[in-house]
Amino acid sequence: MEPGTGADLAALAKVVARQRAEMERLRDLAATSAVLERAKGVLMAITGCAPDAAHEELLRRAKDGSRTLLEQCWLTLGALPPPTEQLFGAAPPAPAGLPGAVGSWETAPAGTVDMAEVLGHIGRDLVRVESPQELAGCLLEHLRSEVRADAVMLYERLPEGGLGLIGHAGLDPTLAAQWRHVPPLSGMSAVDALRTGEPRWLEDLPSDSARYLLIGNPPERWPTRAWLPVPARDTASVAFGVLRRTDEPFVPRERKLLRAVARLCAGRLRVFDASQERPGEDGAAQAVQALLDALPGAAIVLKPLRSASGEVADYRIEAATAEAVDVFGRAGRDMVGKHILESYPSVAGEPLWHGYLRALETGTPFDGEPFVYQDVSGGVPVTATYSVRAAPLGDGLLVTWLRHDPAERQEQRLSDVQRLGNLGWATWNLITQEVSWSTQAYAVLGRGSAREPLGLDELPDLAVPEDAETLSRVIGELLRDARSFDVPFRVETPEGVRHLRMVAEAVTEPDGTPVEVHGFVQDLTAQRSAELALVESERAMLLQRGILQAERALAARLQHALLPLPSKPVRLAGLRVEVAYLPAQAGTHVGGDWFSAIELPDSDALFVVGDVAGHGIGAVATMAQLRFTAKGMVSTGSSLTGALTRLNQLLLHSRDSRTTATMVLARYDPDEQILAWAQAGHLPPLLVRRGEARYVDRPGGMLLGASGAPVYESAELRLEPGDRLLLYTDGLIERLGESLDDGFTRLAEAVLLHGCGGSASLDALLGTMLADERRDDVCVLDIRMPPEEDTPEAGE
């Protein structure tokens, strides 16, 4: 083994351990950030202060009360009155014998109280405990109902290894004495939790007994148990255990709550150890940071972090100058608090690491040779070259560095930017007449790189005649008045016309005389082509929209002429008939829905509702043909089924033989009060009778235009006084994403909701059914048999 290899491996192992600790710290921070924001909101609401002032007030109160910020947040939230008190006045006093800090919350069933409220009560009680033993008792009191805990144990990692019991509750004294000291055994779940930094959930007693040495006499006393590491600044040193007599596993809410309680314990345990920290350390660090804030350049102050044996295990950045930037882009105070091996693990065992050690040991500054630092950030490799100097400063190091960025790398980056942006730079020295173009400038202007670059006054010769004058004018203003410009122009190339953009500015003498011109030219052909294509597409869309709107207007006029709507309900053969027709709101086409409600020569009434597939003028024309043909055939004596058969043949032999339609034909005999009806693929009528709504069974019948040999059947329905019958098209019940059965149910419920008698409003029914945007036309015939006591109104 080479010298130093063992130390390097040990350093890398420490890096892994510290990275685990950093992950736990970040999880702790994420879990407490919501509590902090809620506490800040409380102070802002009470005092009217700003968010920053609320944060400072929380910090001040925590410091004055020797509490952590998290504990102070829970205290602030716990000071609010409970919700019932806020809404309904003061809550009644708690029953005698219950702790006042918990109150009625302790009587709530497990799992029914909001977790934030539970943690608020626990956090408020923890601030009063003075020792780990009291802490264990407080935890058991709260967790007995929330996670069904029967015992709580707190173990601390000992310097020589192993664990020491620092607090317990729910254990008999003999058992606690037997397990007061635990050697560093690999078969201990508490040791395993501290070693891995992750909780251990023991929920299968036979399996757990084979893996671990379980606490208990006998161990079956607690079939399920959990051990969680309590977060700390570096690595967890306290294990928090919960033992239960139930054999059910921990549910997700219990696991989440125990993790949060472990974080609360961390804050209280840090308060117990606060007296061991050196006073005045923060003030010294602030003074050093204030000094570095005033210094230029890149510099940081490192504090060595030593192990128990006194060896340097890592360094912490105590202060940093504003211009200090690391390889990951962190700058200034963003670097403060970072550990070297956690943030830059690849320096472990390198000459830089050993140079730091020599500077500390000998007091002689370390000047390192330039070295390449390589790492990965967000999955992307990062590389930089540095020269580093480390000088002793008190018991730490003052480190300065210089980052080297080779000229060839800068040139490559500039070349990449020009290529990717399709632009090139150019300079014109007006004193020496020197002209310099980048390679990409030749490519953009369509000139071979072997040719001489052009002077400013020669550039207009490249532009097309329409743009040459404008380019000449702005160049003249630049040379005369040092006025910068940004102008588009076009050039002819063998590949066609290019759309370019040129931006230029002048460098002047103190008297304002231009002496040099800097600029760039960019190829915008692809962008301009896309803009022109978009304009052309918009023009075509507007034209098409105009055509569609004109067609819709024509179809609407035809439809209104063919389907005149009565202004009020009418009487036909003793029935009250109300009609509604509503065009679709979506799209630019008119549909082919229609209706007929007329009195026949023999005093019967004919009712028709139909729907032609498709939209536009063609659908309106087919609708008119079917409407008038059906009326004519039934009026001249054709049966309902015979009329449907002939209408089917009419569609099959029409100009567009692919057109289909649905229809309901109904003939009402007022003497017999019988409605005979037939249908062709149409929706069933809805009958409302004596407060109940049902859909009438349909006789057989295929939609019109679908078959050359369809069979149509008829059926009869006797109407009773007070009956209401709805004939309608599918636009009334269809909704996007809803089944047809759901639409039928919705219509039946809406009819019953708005009444069944003569006062029932068709407008109210339509308002309920058509609350959303209509995607299809809607046609409804509302036919009602008056009650026995009603008589036809005069004039109807």
Percentage of residues of the chain with pLDDT beyond 90? 27
Judge contact between 229 and 236, C-beta under 8 A: yes
Contact 747, 687 (CB under 8 A): no
Which residue bears the tokens 């067609």? 551
CA–CA gap between residue 571 and residue 672 (Å, rounded) = 17
DSSP string, 620-687: HHHHHHHHHHHHHHHHTT--HHHHHHHHHHHHHTSSSTT--EEEEEEEEETTTTEEEEEEESPPPPEE
Q: What is the mean pLDDT of residues 261-280?
A: 63
Over 70: is that where the pLDDT of 108 sits?
Answer: no
The arithmetic mean of pLDDT across residues 62-83, rounded, is 69
Question: What average pLDDT does the segment 252-279 reach?
Answer: 73
d(CA 172, CA 745): 66
Q: Is the pLDDT of residue 750 over 70?
A: yes
Distance CA 57, CA 722 (A): 75
Report how far residue 781's alpha carbon sits from residue 602's, in angstroms, rounded to the nearest whole number.
22
List b or e across 86-124, with b for residues whose CB sees 16 or more CB atoms inside 10 angstroms: eeeeeeeebeeeeeeebbebbeeeeeeeeeeebbbbbbb
Stronger pLDDT, 314 or 83, i.e. the higher one: 314
Distance between CA atoms of residues 77 and 84, nearest Å: 15
**Concatenated DSSP letters for 114-152?**
-HHHHHHHHHHHHTT--SHHHHHHHHHHHHHHHS--SEE
Q: What is the pLDDT of residues 297-337, one digit of tens each?
A: 888 999 898 876 778 888 888 888 888 887 777 778 778 88
- Taking only the tens place, the pLDDT of each residue in 202-221 is 999 999 988 888 888 788 99
**Does 700 have pLDDT greater than 90?**
yes
Contact 209, 247 (CB under 8 A): no
d(CA 377, CA 26) in angstroms, rounded, equals 17
State the pLDDT at residue 324.
Answer: 84
Q: How much is the average pLDDT of 531-552?
A: 77
Distance CA 268, CA 259 (A): 15
Q: Which residues contact 130 (CB under 8 A, 6 or more apart)?
A: none
User: Pairing mode, if any, of strands 605-615 and 661-669?
Assistant: antiparallel
∠726-732-737 over CA atoms, to 5°? 140
Mean pLDDT of 218-228: 92
Q: Give 588-625 pLDDT, tens digit per residue.
A: 456 778 888 999 988 899 999 999 988 777 777 888 88
Q: Which two tokens stand for residue 375?
A: 């790492």
pLDDT value of position 328: 72
End-to-end Cα spacing for the chain: 114
Mean pLDDT of 386-399: 88
Q: Is the dihedral of CA 739, 744, 749, 755 positive or negative?
A: positive
d(CA 485, CA 719): 86
Q: Using CA atoms, how far apart are residues 60 and 49, in angstroms rounded to an integer?
A: 15
In eight-state DSSP terms, residue 454 is: P
Q: Are 199 and 258 in contact (CB under 8 A)?
A: yes
* pLDDT of 17 over the 80 cut: no
Does residue 703 register a pLDDT over 90? yes
Closest CA to 135 of 113, 165, 167, 157: 167
Q: How confident is the model at residue 90 (pLDDT cuts 50, 70, 90)?
A: very low
Q: Which two tokens stand for residue 489?
A: 């122009």
Whole-number average pLDDT of the chain: 80
Q: Say if residues 605 and 597 touch (Cβ distance below 8 Å).
A: yes
Q: How confident is the model at residue 419 (pLDDT cuts 50, 70, 90)?
A: confident
pLDDT of residue 42: 64
C-alpha to C-alpha distances, 663 to 606, 698, 705, 712, nearest whole angstrom: 13, 12, 11, 12
- State residue 240's pLDDT score: 93
Peptide bond into 601 cis (omega under 30): no
Q: Tell me what pLDDT residue 111 has.
A: 46
Residue 712, pLDDT above cutoff 80:
yes
The share of the chain scoring above pLDDT 70, in percent, equals 79
Please tell me the pTM assigned to this model.
Answer: 0.37
Predicted local confidence at residue 217, as pLDDT: 78
Looking from the CA of 776 toward its CB, the CA atoms found within 13 Å total: 18
